[in-house]
Amino acid sequence: MANLFSTFQERFGEWLAALGQHLQLSLLTLLVAIFLTIPLAIYLHSHKKVANWVLQIAGIFQTIPSMALLGLFIPLMGIGTLPALTALVIYAIFPILENTVTALNGIDPSLEEAGIAFGMTKWERLKKFELPLAMPVIVSGVRTATVMIIGTATLAALVGAGGLGSFILLGIDRRNASLILIGAISSAVLAILFNTLLKWMEKAKLRTVFTAFAVLILGLGASYTPSLLPKQEKDHLVIAGKLGPEPEILMNMYKLLIEENTDMTVTVKPNFGKTDFLYQALKKGDIDIYPEFTGTITGTLLQPAPKVSNDAEEVFEAARDGIKKQDNLVLLNHMAYQNTYAIAVPKSVAKEYNLKTISDLKAVQDKLKAGFTLEFNDREDGNKGLQSVYGLNLNVSTMEPALRYQAIQSGDIQITDAYSTDAELARYDLQVLEDDKHLFPPYQGAPLMKAELLEKHPELEGILNKLSGKITESQMSQMNYQVGIEGKKAEAVARDYLVKEGLLKK
């Protein structure tokens, strides 16, 4: 508990920013859903045959997994608020629509007949008695949607929309329960507060409800005002990266070098979920730079994948030339270390079964269980390669990267994929098995960007290539340990390295 409070105090500024982002996204989603759904429900009230079809379609949309929606929207909308907002609106429509249609259809027909007898128009009937009578049920639907929005909005962090989910993702990645609890408790408390407020509004007068929503619109508009004000013209870059301490360290190195040597400002967006999220975001121009690895480019991004040897320079040249030809993206010079894939087992398991190479696993594959990331499990230089090159048919459970080591520690799995610079290899006393058949290609990191950016700012090439040939495997492992295990800030660790290497002033 003491650790939870100390972590909260240390990250209070980040928490306030994340809370603001979460509120903005949740409330904007709610307003958009209400403005789309209430008029639609009023129309469907008079067209009951159409209403059944629309409600069924809305219900089907709600069953689509949120991750699937985000994955589908990124190529169309890029990253950030728009894909997250669109996915959340889709989820919010059904409970509001269903409750509104049900409430309007449940009004006593005799009241409708009386209104018509008195010569009231459709709008007058709606205003005088239909909406006031239906309002408690409508607000109940809004309340259900609000709680769902606030909970689901935590996934927005995966696509760079920020919010309280950033604490949860970071906590999972760093195996830090305090960060997870800060994000989860904050989201739960927020949902409870709005649930309580909206429950009170179910019994409020129609005028009170409209006034509350008017205040909400004004407040939301005021919160976006600073971002809409004209700003001083200054070049600004967005650097993003995958989940994990290593990409975050590299991103901050790029940021520090660029801001030290130019007048440009840089925003860092860490902890994106998957390679494809970043790749699509870069091509769409939502981000400007991200650190990528040569083996990922040749094995995943280039279609069809080129046939290359395991020679590091050959793989780099194939990655650099191929991505330029395919997407007009520029891969700058690579760093010294290789963060290649590896297969690791606990040292106790290696000793028990005399495991030294990946080939040794074949004799004991029926006795051990593997835990791989989804990406590794689906790659030709991953589990598919283990099957074709090594003849292994492992019992595999797929899981998020950060959960592999927890599963190893608990004994749920005994084999996992890893990166050669992972700090967890030392922390969990794991042994890397020799890749005796040379399945895994070289993975050397380098900045990836659009050619247009380099044409506009040619100085970036020289600035970022200061890292060319720098950072050994042991140095990267140590930095990963400082961030991932010791809990140091990635920017501080990046700065410390650059200063020691004479690449940055103190």
Q: Write the pLDDT tens digit of every residue in 418-473.
A: 988 888 888 889 999 999 999 988 999 999 999 999 999 999 999 999 999 999 99
CA distance 330 to 261: 20
Q: State the pLDDT at residue 459.
A: 96
Is the distance from CB of 418 to CB of 432 less than 8 angstroms? yes
- The token pair at 478 is 């140590």
CA distance 160 to 284: 14
- The token pair at 373 is 């990331």
CA distance 380 to 388: 9
Q: What are phi and psi of 437, to 5 degrees?
A: -110, 10
What is the side-by-side order of every strand in the sheet holding 265-272?
A: 265-272, 236-242, 289-293, 445-450, 329-331
CA distance 241 to 248: 6
111-154 residue pLDDT tens: 877 878 777 877 778 777 888 888 889 989 999 999 999 999 99
CA distance 417 to 392: 14
Q: Report helix, strand and coil shares of the chain as percent, to nearest 5.
A: 65, 10, 25
Amino acid at 480: N
Alpha carbon 87 to chain centroid distance?
Answer: 13
CA distance 29 to 148: 11
Q: Minimal CA–CA distance to 101: which of 147, 132, 56, 55?
A: 55
What is the side-by-side order of every strand in the sheet holding 341-346?
A: 395-398, 369-372, 415-419, 341-346, 430-433
Q: State the pLDDT at residue 234.
A: 57
**DSSP labels for 31-45?**
HHHHHHHHHHHHHHH
Q: Which CATH superfamily is domain 341-433 in?
A: Osmoprotection protein (prox); domain 2 (3.40.190.120)
H or E stretch at 330? strand 329-331
- Helices then strands, counting H and E runs in the chain, come out as 24, 10
Task: CATH 1.10.3720.10 in the chain: give the residue spans.
Answer: 2-228
H or E stretch at 224? helix 206-228
CA distance 474 to 490: 17
Task: CATH 3.40.190.10 in the chain: give the residue spans.
Answer: 236-338+452-500
Report whether the peptide linkage leading into residue 304 is cis, meaning its omega lies within 30 degrees of zero.
yes
CA distance 81 to 159: 8
Task: CATH 3.40.190.120 in the chain: give the residue spans.
Answer: 341-433
Is the distance from CB of 253 to CB of 498 less than 8 angstroms? yes
CA distance 373 to 384: 13
Alpha carbon 61 to chain centroid distance?
Answer: 21
Is the distance from CB of 370 to CB of 416 less than 8 angstroms? yes
Q: State the pLDDT at residue 129.
A: 84
Q: What are phi and psi of 272, to 5 degrees?
A: -70, 155
Please tell me the CATH code under which domain 236-338+452-500 is placed: 3.40.190.10
Amino acid at 335: M
75-85 residue pLDDT tens: 788 778 888 99
pTM: 0.76
3.40.50.12280, 3.40.50.1820, 1.10.3720.10, 1.10.600.10: CATH of 2-228: 1.10.3720.10
- The token pair at 164 is 């309280």
Cβ neighbours around 471 below 10 Å, total: 20
- The token pair at 25 is 């996204």
Q: State the pLDDT at residue 274.
A: 75
- The token pair at 275 is 């390679």
Q: State the pLDDT at residue 273.
A: 65
Q: DSSP 3-state assignment of 23?
A: helix
CA distance 343 to 337: 18
pLDDT in tens, the chain (506 residues): 668 888 888 889 889 999 999 999 999 999 999 999 999 999 998 888 898 899 999 999 888 888 888 878 877 887 788 889 999 999 999 999 999 999 988 888 888 778 787 778 777 787 778 888 888 899 899 999 999 999 999 988 888 788 999 889 888 877 788 999 999 999 999 999 999 988 888 777 778 878 887 888 888 888 777 655 555 455 899 999 988 899 999 999 999 999 999 999 999 988 776 788 889 889 988 899 999 999 999 988 999 989 888 889 999 999 999 999 999 999 999 999 988 889 999 999 999 999 999 999 999 999 999 999 988 998 888 999 999 999 999 999 999 887 898 899 999 999 999 988 888 888 889 999 999 999 988 999 999 999 999 999 999 999 999 999 999 998 999 999 999 888 899 999 999 999 999 999 87
